[in-house]
Amino acid sequence: MVLDIDRCVGCYACTLACKVENNTPPGIWYAPVFEKEVGKYPNVKRLFIPALCNQCKDAPCMTACPTGAIYKREDGIVLVNEDKCCGTRACVAACPYGAMHFYEDEGGEYGEQLIPLDSLTREKYTSGTAQKCTFCTHRVDQGLQPACVETCPTECRIFGDLEDLDSAPSRLIRNRNGEQPRPEAGTDTSVWYVR
């Protein structure tokens, strides 16, 4: 995936689409958008920086996991097998991007009186396990785009096959000097940024 910083307007449509599509637990956001002010008065500008799991080729979360619960699909998408997760949070500590989350069910936000979405979350996720963005594999496997990509009104999220040199993401990376986030981490991310 390529994230075009110049096109992001900070509408948070991607964040909300992801939350609804994946019904993530309270407080867990797979696709946050960060805000940053740059420049000096009177020439100040606000940047919006969309983020998500970078689906690293050399994923530190996978290496840190003591049970092998974190694995990589053939297409490079990194996933968590909740049945194998023992809840050590080693993956959360190992991720240099803050993209790993830990779900600990605390009985719902309203005590024992659960709102409908909390009930659905309890059915979908296992308390005491690591969680992360999956690039909406349930959609990708059907030939669809991830929810965050489909919802973005400015098309700042571009999804495709990075191995295909003629794909839209590959062309953007090549033509606009794409950069991987935190290259010093040495994770060889599958998410790139362009400006």
pTM of the model: 0.89
Average predicted confidence (pLDDT) for the chain? 92
- 36 Cβ neighbours under 8 A, 6+ residues apart: 46, 47, 49
pLDDT at 123 over 80: no
Please give the share of the chain, as a percent, with pLDDT higher than 90. Answer: 86
Please report, as a single letter, which amino acid is at residue 66.
P
More confidently predicted of 34 and 108 = 34
pLDDT value of position 116: 60
Q: pLDDT tens digit string along 171-195?
A: 999 999 999 999 999 999 999 999 9
> Looking at 23-27, 67-71, 171-175, 189-193, which range is the least confident one?
23-27
Task: Give residue 72's pLDDT.
Answer: 97
Q: Which of 93, 91, 100, 98 is nearest to 67 (CA)?
A: 91
CB 125 within 8 A of CB 82: yes
With H, G, I as helix, E, B as strand and everything else as coil, classify residue 101.
strand
Alpha helices in the chain (DSSP H): 13-22, 60-64, 90-94, 116-124, 137-140, 147-151, 168-175
In this predicted structure, what is the pLDDT of residue 11? Answer: 97
Q: Encoding tokens for residue 81?
A: 């097998």
Q: pLDDT tens digits for 50-62?
A: 999 999 999 999 9
Q: What digits encode the pLDDT tens for the residues 76-116?
A: 999 999 999 999 999 999 999 999 999 987 665 544 555 56
Asked if residue 50 has a cis previous peptide bond (ω within 30° of 0), the answer is no
CB 57 within 8 A of CB 24: no
Residue 64 DSSP class: H
In CATH, what class is 2-194?
A: alpha beta
**Long-range contacts of 184-189, Cβ-Cβ distance < 8 Å, separation of 24 or more:** 185/60, 185/96, 185/97, 186/58, 187/54, 187/56, 187/57, 187/58, 187/59, 187/60, 187/96, 188/56, 188/57, 188/58, 189/54, 189/55, 189/56, 189/57
Contact 72, 59 (CB under 8 A): yes
